[in-house]
Amino acid sequence: MTQEETRVMRETKKQSTDRWLGTASATNEKLRWPLLLGAAALLSGCAYSETNLSSAPSDQTIAATDEDTISASFPFEKKAIQVNGHKIAYVDVGEGPVVLFIHGNPTSSYLWRNVIPYVSDNHRAIAIDLIGMGDSEQADIGYTFGDHAAYVDGFIRELGLEDVTLVVHDWGSVLGMRYARLNEDNVRAIAFMEAVMPPAFPAPSYEAMGPELGEVFRNFRTDGVGEEMVLENNFFVEQMLPSLVIRGLTQEELEAYRAPFMTPDSRRPTLQWPREVPIGGEPAEATAAVLANGEWMTQTDKPKLFVRAEPGTLTPPPVIAYYEANFSNMETRVAGPGLHFFQEDSPHGLGRALSDWLDRLPSEE
């Protein structure tokens, strides 16, 4: 391919992405992400028999109070530990049974800042910054799913965490569920939200994701195009993250999320994550993990808490029904309004749901 042909290809792909994104300032544009991702979830869910789906979800909505304000401040002092030769930063507050929070892309422990206080009164609340994200060290690695899993495993091992309750979101769900699946004796329970798991994922093909969303994921994985979108323009922090928070983000909050990714090279983790999304069987390692996690979730009797928001992003009604029909020993709660990053819209509803559920978990044997 000549340089001119390459330039035209990249420009064409950029234009298609720009058309899809539009402007994020209007409410209807903010809803394009959840509607498109929800459509992908619905399409993926069609592979499951209707006999596995209940007619309607049964859940409890956590009521908001007048005192519920969302603070931008991060009230915790981070600690650090060496894992696999690199610094991993984390929050570690409170005493009692261990609760480990695992974030996804493009966030950090900052995502949980308004949730942790609901847990740390009578639990040891730990929130990791994944390798290359938050205040954790940038490493000379590919930031594949397998890379991240090795650091999560090492983090739990180096801290000597036992009988862990996992609280997971986005790609943190794949990492946490994988750990739980492979280390059942060291996991007490799991709370999950906006998870990358069946029946929404793996996606069978780009086409199954719909023409617009499928094209965006093709662009992420196209050499040169993905780099321009994410490494040069910081797509996930500047466009995706704020577009998936109903109330929007304040300047202070945006600056906190931007801080780890101030240079193109520092944004490599945020580019690799969409390249790890299992589509059409690739990449093989992430696809196998997501499928195995989904199978494990249908088999294990570990206590589970599924927390969702209204309208949410990855949990349209058929997905909710699938969870409730196929996952045993699970409670469902609605934290309140929110999209994918509903920790920024309804952190107090989420915090109260976690606190209530944690307090009712069976005592350690």
The answer as to whether 250 is a domain residue is: yes
Task: Say what the pTM is.
Answer: 0.88
Helix (H, G, I), strand (E, B) or coil at 257: helix
What pLDDT, on a 0 to 100 scale, did the predictor assign at position 68? 76
The tally of domains found in the chain comes to 1
Respond yes or no: is residue 103 known to be catalytic: no
> Once rounded to an integer, what is the mean pLDDT over residues 49-72?
58
Q: Name the one residue in this structure whose structure tokens are 């492979």.
A: 182
d(CA 180, CA 191): 11
What pLDDT, on a 0 to 100 scale, did the predictor assign at position 15? 53
The answer as to whether 174 is a domain residue is: yes
Helices (H), the chain: 3-21, 27-30, 32-45, 145-159, 171-182, 211-220, 225-226, 235, 241-243, 251-258, 268-276, 284-299, 317-326, 347-359
The predicted-structure confidence for 292-334, as pLDDT tens digits, reads as follows 999 999 999 999 999 999 999 999 999 999 999 999 999 999 9
Confidence category of residue 7, pLDDT binned at 50, 70, 90: low
d(CA 296, CA 250): 39
The predicted-structure confidence for 129-171, as pLDDT tens digits, reads as follows 999 999 999 999 999 999 999 999 999 999 999 999 999 999 9
Respond yes or no: is residue 232 known to be catalytic: no
Confidence category of residue 47, pLDDT binned at 50, 70, 90: very low
Answer yes or no: is pLDDT of 191 > 90. yes
Respond yes or no: is residue 194 known to be catalytic: yes
The answer as to whether 287 is a domain residue is: yes
Backbone angles phi, psi at 310, to 5 degrees: -110, 120
DSSP 274-336: HHHS-BTTBSHHHHHHHHHHHHHHHH--S-EEEEEEEE-SS--HHHHHHHHHH-SSEEEEEEE
Domain that holds residue 60: 3-359
d(CA 289, CA 61): 31
d(CA 238, CA 331): 34
Helix (H, G, I), strand (E, B) or coil at 136: coil
Residues 204 and 280: beta-carbon distance below 8 Å: yes
How far is residue 99 from each of residues 16, 58, 166, 175, 356, measured CA to CA in Å?
42, 26, 6, 15, 14
d(CA 91, CA 166): 14
CATH code where residue 327 lies: 3.40.50.1820
The predicted-structure confidence for 72-98, as pLDDT tens digits, reads as follows 999 999 999 999 999 999 999 999 999
DSSP 337-353: EESTTGGGT-HHHHHHH
Q: Which of 129, 340, 344, 345 is catalytic?
A: 340
Confidence category of residue 65, pLDDT binned at 50, 70, 90: low
Helix (H, G, I), strand (E, B) or coil at 239: helix
What DSSP character marks residue 62? P
Q: Which of 147, 170, 324, 344 is catalytic?
A: 170
Answer yes or no: is pLDDT of 33 > 80. no
The answer as to whether 364 is a domain residue is: no
Q: Which of 129, 147, 194, 344 is catalytic?
A: 194
Q: Is the dihedral of CA 116, 113, 153, 320 positive or negative?
A: positive
The answer as to whether 343 is a domain residue is: yes
The answer as to whether 365 is a domain residue is: no
